Amino acid sequence: MNRLDTKYKKFGLCTDMMHTAELIRNFNSKDVIPFVNRIENNKKFFITGEGSSRIFPAKNMISNSLRYATDFDIKTEGASQAKEYDLTHFIVFGASNSGKTSELIGLFTQLQNSNHTQLFAVTANTATPLENIAQQTNVLKCGLEKSVAATISVIEQALFFDTLFCKLQDVKTPSLDELSLKFLNALSIAVSEDIIIKILNADTIYFAGRNNGVAEELTLKTQEIIRKKAVYLEGTYALHGAEEVMTPNDVMIIIDPIEEEEHKFKTHLEEGVGINIIAISNRQTLFPTILIHEIEYYDTYLQMAAGWNLLVECGLHLDIDLDKPERARKIGNEYLIEV
């Protein structure tokens, strides 16, 4: 993406994406302090919500808690399924941009009625049904997004949870100025025409990668932004049966491939099935690779930015409205107050 080119500037989606770098740079880590003060010594976290509000923010935090060998117990699940769980001893965070997500309101109402005392919310709006139930709410600074597909809010939610985790655990991270610069670079990488054409010609686009929310979130964004069939295959799931339904007309995008697994993907899928494989990584892989910078702790943010960049370029080639899908809604299942 070129933020000065009018073909990008006319779409709110591209504007939101570009503004994300500025939001990262200006993110105020002090916003988590009220929550740190209320959490005390409980290290059992349950993060819930629906869609983009939960996928990357929650799973990235879980991945970091395991990667950095902490004693936190962090779990995530959709709000409807979470109703079946005993969350008595968990700090519960509900993430919803609108603050009106029906499933989440239902869960929080149930927990409130059972006298749960640690219900926290992260939203992008004020005076919402969710805020009315939660004991403490963080309102994002990103404001209303200009497109149906959530982007800038996803990153701010993830930064909130990452910063909260770091404050509680005293994990040192690089400066947000550095992340902001490298994020903008990942958004601006020139994507080869050959990669774009492969994706546009694909019947199905498979995303593979770690269960940290990046590949899964980009799968959703593929469906919303370029309206192509997309499937998320966690880790090496693609090598354990899914190859049976793949065809040479499909494409696989691997996010940050594990080096020792690359040859298996190449022999079993690229050579065996005939599928086209593309990688997003901070090193050259065995496949056509969108190369990004490396930054300790925040690599996943750069992977997300590169994925966004790729999808925008594909969307422009399709000459479609990047801001308004035909059926997808900004609020998936809205809670409506009965009058």
Per-residue pLDDT tens digits for 150-195: 999 999 999 999 999 998 887 788 799 999 999 999 999 999 999 9
Range of the domain at 110: 6-177
Residues 46 and 141 in one domain: yes
Assign 339 a pLDDT band (cuts: 50, 70, 90). Answer: very low
Q: Is a pLDDT exceeding 60 seen at residue 329?
A: no
Residues 56 and 134 in one domain: yes
pLDDT digits (tens, 9 = 90+) for 9-35: 899 999 999 999 999 999 999 999 999
Strand 119-123 versus strand 91-95 pairing type: parallel
Residues 169 and 259 in one domain: no
pLDDT digits (tens, 9 = 90+) for 57-75: 999 999 999 988 778 999 9
- 150 closest CA partner among 336, 331, 319, 274: 331
Q: Is a pLDDT exceeding 70 seen at residue 331?
A: no
Residues 86 and 235 in one domain: no
Q: Is a pLDDT exceeding 60 seen at residue 338?
A: no
Q: How far apart are CA 31 and CA 35, in angstroms?
A: 8
Complete DSSP assignment for 226-272: T--EEEEEETTGGGTTGGGG--TT-EEEEES--GGGHHHIIIIIIIT
Q: Is a pLDDT exceeding 70 seen at residue 337?
A: no
Amino acid 283: pLDDT = 97
pLDDT digits (tens, 9 = 90+) for 120-159: 999 998 999 999 999 999 999 998 888 888 999 999 999 9
Residues 70 and 132 in one domain: yes
Q: Is a pLDDT exceeding 80 seen at residue 3?
A: no
- 268 closest CA partner among 299, 293, 292, 241: 241
- 244 within domain boundaries: yes
The Cα-based distances of 278 to 22, 152, 193 in angstroms read 29, 25, 13
Residues 199 and 173 in one domain: no
Residues 68 and 121 in one domain: yes
Q: How far apart are CA 222 and CA 216, in angstroms?
A: 10
Amino acid 180: pLDDT = 97
Of the listed ranges 39-43, 106-110, 290-294, the least confidently predicted one is 39-43
The whole-chain average pLDDT of the chain stands at: 93
232 - beta bridge partners? 207
- 15 within domain boundaries: yes
Q: Are 289 and 254 in contact, with CB atoms under 8 Å apart?
A: no
- 58 within domain boundaries: yes
Global model pTM greater than 0.85: yes
Q: Are 49 and 104 in contact, with CB atoms under 8 Å apart?
A: yes
User: CA angle, 178 as apex, 173 and 184 as ends, to 5°?
Assistant: 130
Q: Is a pLDDT exceeding 80 seen at residue 83?
A: yes
- Residue 203: give its domain's CATH number: 3.40.50.10490
Amino acid 40: pLDDT = 74
Domain count, the chain: 2
In angstroms, the first-to-last Cα distance of the chain is 46
